Amino acid sequence: MIEDKVRLEFMGDQALLLRLPEDVSIETGEALDRLLSLRAALLREFEGVRGIEDIIIGYRSVAVYARFEDVAPEDLLARARRAIQGSGGAPVASTRPGAVVTLPVVYGGSFGPDLGEVAERAGLSPQDVIRLHQEAVYRVAMVGFSPGFAYLIGLPEPLRVPRRETPRSRVEQGSVGIAGFQTGVYSFATPGGWQIIGRTPVALFDVRRSSPSLLAPGDEVRFEAVTEEEYHGGFGAYT
């Protein structure tokens, strides 16, 4: 059983990390399913326990952040082991069951300067790239890099092109990129090396929201092509 191979290690005095074995696939969503089930079991095990600050999913791990002055490391380990043994049931499909977030995107032009290169590498027309990208349903594998940046799995095989050889010093907020088997949206303007094929007006992170990050691990995402006029005129409607 995979649950028997989960490795536990402390991240200094900040957290306990539960790591899946390397042969659990990230690309297929197997790792995500296991981690969602594991996180659900950890939430049950640590419910009401003083000192637990957060339980966060990564690509192949889940971290239990805790104040060690309030919860003993040995108690963390014992509870985590019980959670591991209790997490082998049916995978949890989503942190918000049934929710699919649709993000409007202007593809190509100044909004997606790498669309042509992606099409050339894939041996497709730009229109086919757009069609394939927006036909797929993606899953949020993890959130990281910058607040609200969601790594999405489920990219169609023909669109799986490598990162740019030279990263850009600035990628605009809302830029939709491709890197290997992933697609994602830049939540802030930052340096980045993903192939940029479009841009969305939707704010992926907003501290004014009750949950600042729009997306969470397990959520499903679709992209929908819109015009530049719709982009400029509908920012408020989408955010």
In contact, 70 and 42? CB cutoff 8 Å: no
In contact, 171 and 195? CB cutoff 8 Å: no
d(CA 198, CA 113) in angstroms, rounded, equals 8
pLDDT at 36: 93
Q: Looking at the whole model, is its pTM more than 0.85?
A: yes
In contact, 238 and 224? CB cutoff 8 Å: no
pLDDT at 232: 81
d(CA 135, CA 155) in angstroms, rounded, equals 10
pLDDT at 233: 73
Helix (H) or strand (E) holding 199: strand 195-199
pLDDT at 3: 55
pLDDT at 235: 47
Binned average pLDDT, 10 residues per bin, the chain of 239 residues: 79 95 94 94 95 96 96 96 76 50 96 98 98 97 95 98 96 98 97 97 93 93 94 59
